Amino acid sequence: MTHTAPGTAVTDAARLAPALSEGATTAAVLQGYQQSMIGVFGTPKRVFVRGEGVHVWDAEGRKHLDLLSGLAVTALGHAHPFVLSAITSQLSTLGHVSNFFATPAQVALAERLVAMAGGGPDLPAKVFFANSGTEANEAALKITRRTGRTKVVAAEGAFHGRTMGALSLTAKASYREPFEPLPGDVVFVPYGDAAALAAAVDETVAAVVLEPIQGENGVVTPPADYLTEARRITREHGALLWLDEVQTGMGRTGSWLASQAGEHPVTADLVTVAKGLGNGFPVGACIATGTAADLLGAGEHGTTFGGNPVAAIAGLAVISVIERDGLLANATARGEQLRSAVEALGSPLVAGVTGRGLLRGIRLHQPVAPAVADAALEAGYIVNAPRPDVLRVAPPLIITADQLQTFLDALPGLLETAVGGAA
């Protein structure tokens, strides 16, 4: 026997982190957390110990419906059997070799992503693999520097990550200011305003970086022709169009990439993806098309882990299950179910539903979204509040109509609890 049975592997993990499995109370784990974890995330509200499908269980044995997917990551839900078997079989065959060498898995995933971003016989496209969204964006930012220009136009409200380069493109003052000076030559324009973008882009601009939908800013959807306009404007001035699809990509909004959906598909020069790509296995990618594909030369960028065969297999497994199970269509259908049900509530507190597919913002007339999220958690539903007046719902793409409906049925009560509590 050279292979370990899955059951044994689970037992081994439990032995390595006994506090999570041998009856330790939530309070004990959280005390350890407070003492040994750098405090950037605040105080966690739950200690989770197990997940299966759309559900997770906390250390007290309470079951929760996961409507956030670990921040738009676990698109196939927890412990998906296909992903699990792909990862474990790759890991037990070949886990890591470094980028001195190639692996079949890495090339297969690159080919899938190239096709996804619009690459083909007429448009060469190439991939750089990273381990996260921010790193995928760092790669893209370095590519923009090789245009011979340095200026980047980004959007107000944008979120592109926390490392210094990606942070320089992230608008939020409280994220940026403690770490200034950041890499410079970045200007911010109002999001969704094509005229403002046109005014900011000239022959000195290396790239325009945009999210197709601003997830962290509260699921803000731009006008339908905004990306097409951005494409036209960048082309006119020889600037790269860089779309950050870290949150919107990999089927989250009902198409592989949000930028390629509907009546206004756009092929960008740079596309970054991460979150949903590995279903929780850390993997990100920067896909460069056309001339952008060859801007970085040998030795100009690198990574030790990026694109290792386990990460690559995770991405391939995710793509394969989304295809096999028709999950793009499910994301669209469940997203519509959510939108129409929330609108039909006719709640005076609800201002509207934003987003597409299964990346949704429920906009409120009052800044009570954190209280609604707390009430939801108490009731066994995981959502979050990216803004005080927006509730974000981003369930696994595998969620069924009935599972989603339980939350939609509970929502009026949760809104009432929150307003009552806030008053």
User: Which residues make up the interface to ligand PLP (CB under 6 A)?
Assistant: 132-134, 137, 159-161, 211, 215-216, 244, 246-247, 274-275
**C-beta of 28: minimal distance to ligand PLP in Å?**
28
For residue 87, what is the DSSP state?
H
Nearer to ligand PLP, 77 or 218 (CB): 218
Residue type present at position 145: R
The answer to whether the annotation marks 245 as part of a ligand binding site is yes
Minimum CB separation of residue 203 from ligand PLP in Å reads: 27
Smallest distance from ligand PLP to CB 160, Å:
5
For ligand PLP, the closer CB: 134 or 147: 134
- Of 169 and 317, which has the nearer Cβ to ligand PLP? 169
Tokens of 158: 């944008």
Residues 210 and 272 sit within 8 Å (Cβ to Cβ)? no
* Cα–Cα distances in angstroms (integers) from residue 85 to residues 7, 72, 79, 89, 366, in the given order: 12, 22, 10, 6, 46
Beta bridge pairs of residue 120: 123
Task: Please say whether the beta carbons of 369 and 387 come within 8 A.
Answer: yes
Which residue lies nearer to ligand PLP by CB, 161 or 307?
161
Least distance from ligand PLP to the Cβ atom of residue 379, Å: 26
Of 57, 34, 37, 35, nearest to 46 by C-alpha is 57
The residue among 368 and 393 lying less far from ligand PLP, judged by its C-beta, is 393
Contact 126, 113 (CB under 8 A): no
CA distance 53 to 69: 10
Extended strands (E) in 158-283: 186-189, 205-210, 240-244, 270-273
Report the alpha-carbon distance of residue 338 to residue 411 in Å, rounded: 11
Minimum CB separation from ligand PLP for residue 325, in Å?
Answer: 24
Least Å from the CB of residue 71 to ligand PLP? 6
Q: Which amino acid is at 183?
A: P
Question: Is 157 labeled as ligand-binding?
Answer: no
Supply φ then ψ for residue 49, to 5 degrees.
-125, -15
Residue whose CB is less far from ligand PLP, 66 or 368: 66
Q: Which of 244, 258, 276 is nearest to 160 (CA)?
A: 244
Of 161 and 361, the one with the shorter C-beta distance to ligand PLP is 161
State the first-to-last Cα distance of the chain, in angstroms, to the nearest integer: 63
Quote the least distance from Cβ 269 to ligand PLP, whole Å: 17
CA–CA dist 133, 209 (Å, integer): 14
Q: Is 134 annotated as a binding residue?
A: yes
Sequence-distant contacts of 54-62: CB under 8 A, at least 24 apart: 54/78, 54/395, 54/396, 54/398, 54/399, 54/403, 56/382, 58/26, 59/20, 59/24, 59/25, 59/26, 59/29, 60/26, 62/380
Minimum CB distance to ligand PLP, residue 193 (Å): 19
| Residue 247 known to bind ligand | yes
Annotated binding residue 303: yes
Q: Is 246 a known ligand-binding residue?
A: yes
The length of the chain in residues reads: 423
Which of 112/275 has CB closer to ligand PLP? 275
CB of 20 to ligand PLP, least distance (A): 23
Q: Are 285 and 107 spatial neighbours (Cβ–Cβ below 8 Å)?
A: no
Q: Is 90 annotated to bind ligand?
A: no
Q: Please, which residue, 51 or 133, has the CB nearer to ligand PLP?
A: 133
State which residue has the least CB distance to ligand PLP.
Answer: 133
Summarize the annotated binding site as residue ranges: 133-134, 159, 162, 244-247, 303-304
Summarize the annotated binding site for pyridoxal 5'-phosphate as residue ranges: 133-134, 159, 244-247, 304
Summarize the annotated binding site for N(2)-acetyl-L-ornithine as residue ranges: 162, 303
